[in-house]
Structure 1
Amino acid sequence: MNLSETFINRTKNILKEDFNDFLQSLDSVSPTSVRVNDKIELISSDEKVKWCKDGFYLPERPLFTADPFLHAGAYYVQEASSMFLCQVLEQLVSKESTVLDLSAAPGGKSTLISQYINEKGLLISNEIVRSRAYILAENLIKWGNDAVIVTNNEPKDFQQIPGFFDVVVVDAPCSGEGMFRKDPDSINEWSEQNVMMCAARQKDILKDVWEALKTNGILIYSTCTYNTDENEENVAWIEQELGAEFIPLNIDNFPEITATEKGYRFFPHKTKGEGFFIAALKKKSEVGSRKSEIKKQNKIPQKNIKTSKEVENLRNYLLIPEKWKIYQENNIISAFDKEKSEKLDIIKNRLKVLHFGITLAEQKGKDFIPHISLALSKKLNKICFPTVEVEYKIAISFLKKETIFLENAAKGFILLTYKNLPMGWVKNVGNRCNNLYPNEWRIRMKI
């Protein structure tokens, strides 16, 4: 691996006598790991990721694209070191929390957070780049938890809702030193100047979003890089400039993780994973004076857009129908937990929302076309639709958005399942089935 002399010298100062072991580890094969969903009981291998109960290492990297389980949200391919977020949540965060994942795409940490809080809390999962935000929404829809709102905003936009969040997760854009083994091209992009630019940008992001975190709320800050500029020095800056206190974590069961004065480091010669840094801080500064002003605005009654009886009846597609508030925007009908609907209304009034809760259907004339979000939701009431179990070959054809033929199947909308796991919808018109799988999600690879 052709590393720059500047990077070598900087990293030697951090690792000292461990540097040669670190250097050798960069020439080894990156481990492959997945985190399983609770949609079905799935044990991916015999080797678990120690710090995440749902994480598993695989003996080799399979062709994930060819696995229907991946597309149905049975698991997420996630780097093992970053799964340590699970420990931070378990040690510090209540399941009833309102959480912001600020730089969330493609969705690894957001699916983990949504699994942790489940339906007790609320996750706002944000991505500033619109194309990546749609990928984020796709992965969260596949995961199937409903207490999620996906937004497409800049960090400063969250200043409109001061003190709204109990927890803010900032997995900051960084110089990517921890990805050198996994992505050798990133080596050529590295420079000391880029490190300094990243460290400055991270401070700007943190400063912009800080007002949205409530006093005594938790900030979880992480990067996939090794240098201290973007890690410990930024944590010290948060403490001094923004007003926070570093929170130590219990890592007694994980001797392979390196504790420093201001965070926790994952080095590939010590941990089975890529380079990673994470720290948790408690906000000590007060939320600004705009909070009371925003609270008053939030008490303005929302306009109730009356939905038709037919639209309201779509709640019966879900388990516990009375739990849901139904929203209709243009021709799209969605459901959201009534108990959290006030928070959703606040977010919708101030931010760019791409997805929330469960999208039930699209109305076309008098017809309601069931949405992929409904098919993949853990709250789907399966008895509402005829279901056809398909074999692997048909499952792949469906995921490629090819025409499907189902013998002796009922006419109308049919839920396809693979090994009892819902995959999506077709409409059987008799001589063929119209494939309703989203065009932008389809498998393009030749399998």
Structure 2
Amino acid sequence: MTEHSNDPSKVVVIGGGYAGTLAANRLRMRADVDITLINPRPKFVERIRLHQFVARTGDATIDYGTLLGQGIELLVDSATRIDSAARTVQLASGRTLDYDYVIYAVGSTAATLSSVPGAVEFALPLAEFESAQRLRARLEELPLDAPVTVVGGGLTGIETAAELAEQGRMVTLVCGRTLAPSLSAPARRYVAKWLTRHGVTVLEADVVSEVRPDAVALANGPGEGSAEGAVRRSALTIWAAGFGVAELAAASGLRTDTLGRLLTDETLTSVDNDRIVAAGDAAAPSGRPLRMSGFAAGPLGARAADTVLSRIAGTEPAVIDLAFTGACVSLGRGAAVRQLARKDDTAVNVYVSGRLGAAIKEVTCRFVVSKRIRREARKPGSMGWPKGGPRPEQPSTSASQEVTSP
């Protein structure tokens, strides 16, 4: 339905990460939209560079003044509740914002550690800037030969282990089951060889069953039996296993999937309220969320903005049409793997590695900010992305479609 008021439409974007920042810039395609971007930090955090920040091989923050288009109000605060009936967003500062539409782009956080004894007390996660700051400070205090354990065999864990190993640290990488499960078998072998060559001990069949102040206890991973594993010394344990999602949606009475992502339709519109649109890691379209990634965040932010603009104009919003092309993983500063994939994000047995892979990874990281976010600030609506067409329907019994009601 077309908005009948002559007043500008008020759009509140919650979250200033890759998806939210791009969405805010893209909303400027219409001049009659008041845009407020809420973010708990005064600077943009490049989460894909947090492993570099921790190892002091790169920065991970950018001034929003270089990213946001003219007319966008940046509000450094945190949303505590969305009142969909009153159309207000309540903030931690006590302030309340009125809205016509909300773009819910709160991103992801570290996975909950409470299920592993000692993890909350003695492990440091790497999913957010504040925890990365604490981790960086702890590393400064440790001698170079102090044993460090990285928990998580995904891309974040690999990048962190590689960055520290290249500096000469003693690193153990506990994978849980498989090293780099999102990569093809040949690419996994390349990563494993690089890590071994640089002194990283890779444990693929083990999980951390307990974190202690100076050690980790290991047990067999899923499908590997129940025998107790070893206790390994660990002066610092870094948690890079999985991601969680903020509880804002559930706290606001909106339906979510089992991880806490806002449940939407294929236009990214909340199934509970058509004035709330989700983007990025916090969105679960049809209960089948896309892989959490910086690659997907930009197109989802753009599509969320397009959905809001369509609703303001009274036109039918388009559905998700993103095709994946693969993934990148850094191996220190001199090597990386660029994994190629089919449109559905299934890896193929083709990858680029070594220095050329590192060059591609760096170009990709810069592309996300310069060619996506900054270009959208200069020319709203200019961003394109690999199209995959509408997503196929999945059986309703799929476990990924489980939802929760507050």
State whether TM-score is above 0.5.
Answer: no
Higher relative contact order, chain-length normalized (CA < 8 Å, sep 6+): 2
- Specify the structure having the higher radius of gyration (Cα): 1
Q: Counting helix residues as a fraction of each chain, which structure ranks higher?
A: 1
